[in-house]
Amino acid sequence: MANEAAQKARDLVAQMTLEEKASLCSGKNFWETKAVERLGVASFMVTDGPHGLRKQAGESDHLGLNASVPATCFPTAAATACSFDPSLMHRMGAALGEECRAEQVGIILGPAVNIKRSPLCGRNFEYFSEDPLLTGEIAAGLIAGIQSQNVGTSMKHYLANNQERARVSSNSVVDERALREIYLAGFETAIKKSQPWTLMCSYNKINGTYASDNKRLMSDVPRGEWGFEGAIMTDWGAMNDRVEAIKAGLDLEMPGPCDGNDALIVQAVREGTLTEAQVDACAARITELALRVTQNKVTAYDQAAHHELARQIARESAVLLRKGTALPLKKGAKLAVIGDFAKHPRYQGAGSSKINPPRITSLCDAMAERKIEYTYAQGFAAEGKPDDALVSEAVKSAKGADVVIVMLGLPDSFESEGFDRAHMNLPENQNLLMAELTKTGKPIVAVLSAGAAVVLPWREQVDSILLMYLAGQNSGSAVLDLLLGDANPCGKLAETWPLALEDTPCHGFFGNKGNVEYRESIYVGYRYYDKASKGVAYPFGHGLSYTEFVYSDLKLSTSELGETDTVDVCVTVTNTGNQAGKEVVQLYVAPPMEGIFRPMRELRAFAKVSLEPGESKNVSMTLNSRAFAYYDVNSKDWRVDSGVYAIQIGASSRDIRLTQCVTVHGAQPNPAINADVPTYCNPGSVWPVPKEQFERVLGHPVPPKRSIRPFSANSTLGEVQASFAGRMFYKIIRKNMAKQFGGGNSEGMEEFIKIIDAMLEDMPIRQLAMMSGGAMTPAVVAGLVEMMNGHYLRGLKKMKG
């Protein structure tokens, strides 16, 4: 942040009482910070994102149930990452910033930079990629765009929060190489390139320490190593120990009010267990944010222009998974449009990112607007069971058409914040429909709407597959543009689509409670599939076009370099087809030896190029030493080993078109990283990794499973039901939750109940207290815990203080 604002913030904090400083370290309410009015430090609003603004003008919640103001719903991160276009993300970010200013929002909570460890994560629609480089570059573009409007971002969920189940109580057991090379790297890139105003810490523990208490991850790494200048806030209710969090450098606890924790800060300073200078640092960072935000004036935005931008982003992000002869649609072709999603599109995810768009354009809406004739059959109910009558109607419609367009995918009930998927299958009614439609012999174009990879048992029986992910409020117009050939698909997969759940590298070690062992270490996504020679449905980086591209004339600026040098890479790309299109050129680096503890290849640069038919362009990219490095846990630094590295240019991780080698002069190769871990050197031999090898890489034994007794403030509501007092308490809480949200959108109540049940089961008592708005004081929590442990009288005494 600007030095002038930082100095002014420090000057103001110097004039504050200890109580005023402590008060700035927690929220005023669900969405606003506190003010120090006598010094002109104003309150400001933060609100959910990240692909649209979810400002709640009335009742507040973090689940997407209560009403929010109308705002553009852009495509979600699962889609936009496939654009491989940071400049497009900058435009989307600027539009989001405009809408924030119009609604007087100072900070939007996003983007979400979590790595897609498993396709089952219920929140994958909100995350970019399995690859940290792509994640960081796309996030940096979005952050820079939002902050160009003097609106802050809160990059989340930091760190190693890669599942929804037990996200508030689990312990991510991750080795240091995986942390550095996979899970921290995206955050690092975005911070160094775009300096988000804030980071948001996650709920979970990382190697035994809650994120909010982790000084190494809250301060030493981002501030000390990467130069992060902003503030750090909690996710809603993610605070563990307020005093330890101040020491760790965590500035803002949300939501508020948190008067009890503010008092603990003051008490700790007066008792000498916390220095006032540590509180000053946190208060100054929040004051600086307030000074920046309050400069903004309310400005209007062009709603129609944002609707059109959402359409463009959806087009640029769509991935043509399979191409036959039906696309682009031929003029005059008789069309059958089938699927509930054709009229009622699945365009966004469920939970805290759920946007209230001012308008929604379905495929049927877009076709009607352009006066395109077609027959329609529902085929399936999005949340329904198999229906023979709907299938029969769809088959009849298909038989009378030249081309069949089927709009299908995952319904809201299959993926959401709060719970993970149990499998990778589409709903049974959709697969049964597809089985019958493929028997007609008609060319079928499947258009998929989903937040993550799914298994497609019929994928070889259809003509074409167009993947939209969750493409925002104007998805229908974008789909029609692509089907007609008015736009050419140019997206590339930001995640591998496996053939089966059992093939995923973390299978068996995902979605656990307690310890979540990241046994696969650095082998996430294509880094595992390619190294293990595992068959996949569609590889990372895959995406077809209506035209063809040829790569040629790969040149390197040098054939040798030192470990601190750079190399310029240039390649020529030619559009050899008859339609204009865009191609994503992917640059991978392969290490100098096989059979070592490194991936077969890693994405190190990419560029998107637009070409007219017959046109050629030179594409240039530069690699620095980090492109050849791995993290050395012994030296606690990045290490470049000497050897001959392959520079590979590809259209996907499995479609390498050109290769040139470069000799790198660095450190002598270290055989120690391969010793005693043969599975990590050859993951195709045995998988999953044996526990003893994982512990060697981890550097210590996996922590023992925690006993649920005696209960503590960190015990979950699911665990305390082992006691009578816990069961009674759970019933009261669930009843109050249902009453609180009973007046919400009835259309979303089934979705809400599923989220609530999953959330309550794994929620620690302390988090419930933090979300209570001050009703559950520390004394009440202490008394409840005593009662759950069977000490009823002692518990009552503590409650009374």
Distance CA 19, CA 259 (A): 10
The CA dihedral of 608, 303, 107, 81, to the nearest 10 degrees, is -20
Instruction: Mention every residue, 6+ apart, whose C-beta is less than 8 A from residue 148.
Output: 90, 93, 94, 97
Count of H helices and E strands in the chain?
A: 24, 27
The letter for the amino acid at 779 is: A
End-to-end CA distance of the chain: 44
Backbone angles phi, psi at 128, to 5 degrees: -85, -55
The letter for the amino acid at 719 is: E
Q: What is the DSSP letter of 157?
A: E
The CB-side HSE value for 249 (13 A sphere, CA atoms) comes to 18
Q: What is the DSSP letter of 502?
A: G
DSSP three-state, residue 254: coil
Nearest in space to 645 (alpha carbons), one of 586, 584, 602: 602
The CB-side HSE value for 544 (13 A sphere, CA atoms) comes to 15
Residue 80 contacts residue 322 (beta carbons within 8 Å):
no
Q: What is the DSSP letter of 1?
A: -
Give me the residue label for tokens 């503890």. Answer: 597
How would you label 35-48 residue by residue, b for 16+ Cβ within 10 Å and e otherwise?
bbeeeebbbbbbbb
Distance CA 614, CA 382 (A): 44
DSSP three-state, residue 201: strand
Residue 512 contacts residue 168 (beta carbons within 8 Å):
no
Q: Which helix (H) or strand (E) holds 556?
A: strand 549-556
CA distances from 22 to 107, 202, 239 (A): 21, 22, 15
DSSP three-state, residue 693: helix
Residues annotated catalytic, as ranges: 235
Instruction: Mention every residue, 6+ apart, whose C-beta is less than 8 A from residue 225.
Output: none
Q: What is the DSSP letter of 571?
A: E
Distance CA 343, CA 387 (A): 18
Instruction: Mention every residue, 6+ apart, whose C-beta is less than 8 A from residue 79.
Output: 313, 314, 317, 318, 468, 469, 470, 471, 472, 491
Strand 602-611 to 581-590 pairing? antiparallel
Distance CA 293, CA 286 (A): 11
172 strand-pairing partners: 206, 516
- Strands, sheet with 335-338, edge to edge from the N-terminal-most edge strand: 319-322, 464-467, 444-449, 403-409, 335-338, 375-377
Instruction: Mention every residue, 6+ apart, whose C-beta is less than 8 A from residue 3.
Output: none
Distance CA 151, CA 664 (A): 43
